[in-house]
Amino acid sequence: METRRLEMLAELSRRGSMRAVADVLGTTTSTVSQQIATLSRETGTVLIEPEGRRVRLTPAGRRLAEHAVTILAAVEAARLDLGPGAEPNGTLRVAGFSTAVRTFLLPVITGLAAGHPRVRVLVREHEPAEALALLATDEADLALTYDYNLAPAADDPTVRTTPLWTAKWGLGVPARIDVPGGTTLDVFARFATAEWITNSRNTADEHVVRTLASMAGFSPRVTHQADSLDLVQDMIVAGMGVGLLPMGHETLPGVRLLPLTSPDVELRSYAVARHGRLDWPPLALVTGLLAARTGRRTAPPGADAYIRLP
């Protein structure tokens, strides 16, 4: 049933004549008659009956007119709720890697509880490829992903990417090992015979390790894999190998974090959404808050109106 026909039926119940309906809706009496006849066929129910030279609603017509008022109000509420200028309201599904969720998304969610209580955020922890797959199948509205400057992610024209923050990474090694300073390649060459620890669910850091090792003249032995940065540190302390760690991450007493420079190793994080979705107020709100919290001013169009940092 088209809402336009329901609107005509509701007006007929209020005004009592098709001419009055035509006048208020800016159309003709014959158009009103045709549209209500079509609505009658769609519902399989007689909606009007003759009453002298006029018509009146049948009991079924009156009942449908009551439903029409509710339906039209709901449609108008949906239009206002989903419009770019609407107050954010709804459930946002976010899939992202643990550091982004813990450090940036959770504070945003806490602020939403006070400033935008009608926005609910559902969180799923996933590595970038997993999060993007959920985005592609519409099982997530927003993906928090990352790549490295030495292992850039492939461009995807189906999504809109908002840069968030960057972080320098170093090489975590056992603290008992004395390593002289030098460039990244010097540091890597020192561990040409070591075992290496990389991520088990994302290949980006292994790509970085293999690229730098190749530049330093060796092929690394990647023997262990772990998603948790804390577990990587535990493995380093246990003497199981070396691995990349963020420079700002607190290290265990048994771990030494060596800077990597010339070339630098940088992780780059992003908020990713499908094209055409960023006008949805909850998505624009959260993306804008993440961009503002991380010091970026590249939030999607319209998001500034929703940025209300605590």
pLDDT at residue 97 greater than cutoff 50: yes
pLDDT at residue 299 greater than cutoff 80: no
Amino acid at position 240, single letter? M
Q: What's the mean pLDDT in 61-85?
A: 81
pLDDT at residue 111 greater than cutoff 50: yes
Phi, psi dihedrals of residue 95, rounded to the nearest 5°: -120, 125
Residue 298: predicted pLDDT: 37
Contact call for residues 267 and 205 (beta carbons, < 8 A):
no
Residue 83: predicted pLDDT: 67
Residue 76: predicted pLDDT: 75
Residue 53: predicted pLDDT: 80
Distance of alpha carbon 104 from the chain centroid = 14
140, 142, 147, 149: CA torsion to nearest 10: 160
Phi, psi dihedrals of residue 191, rounded to the nearest 5°: -115, 30
The three-state (H, E, C) secondary structure of the chain, written as one string: CCHHHHHHHHHHHHHCCHHHHHHHHCCCHHHHHHHHHHHHHHHCCCCEEEECCEEEECHHHHHHHHHHHHHHHHHHHHHHHHCCCCCCCEEEEEEECHHHHHHHHHHHHHHHHHHCCCEEEEEEECCHHHHHHHHHCCCCCEEEEEEECCECCCCCCCEEEEEEEEEEEEEEEECCCCCCCCCHHHHHHHCCCCEEEECCCCCHHHHHHHHHHHHHCCCCEEEEECCCHHHHHHHHHCCCCEEEEECCCCCCCCEEEEECCCCCCEEEEEEEEECCCCCCHHHHHHHHHHHHHCCCCCCCCCHHHHCCCC
Residue among 295, 270, 304, 292 at smallest CA distance from 159: 270
More confident residue, 134 or 180: 134
Q: What's the mean pLDDT in 27-45?
A: 92
Q: What's the mean pLDDT in 149-158?
A: 91
Q: What's the mean pLDDT in 275-301?
A: 76
Q: What is the pLDDT of residues 225-245, one digit of tens each?
A: 998 999 999 999 999 999 999
pLDDT at residue 288 greater than cutoff 80: yes
More confident residue, 79 or 60: 60
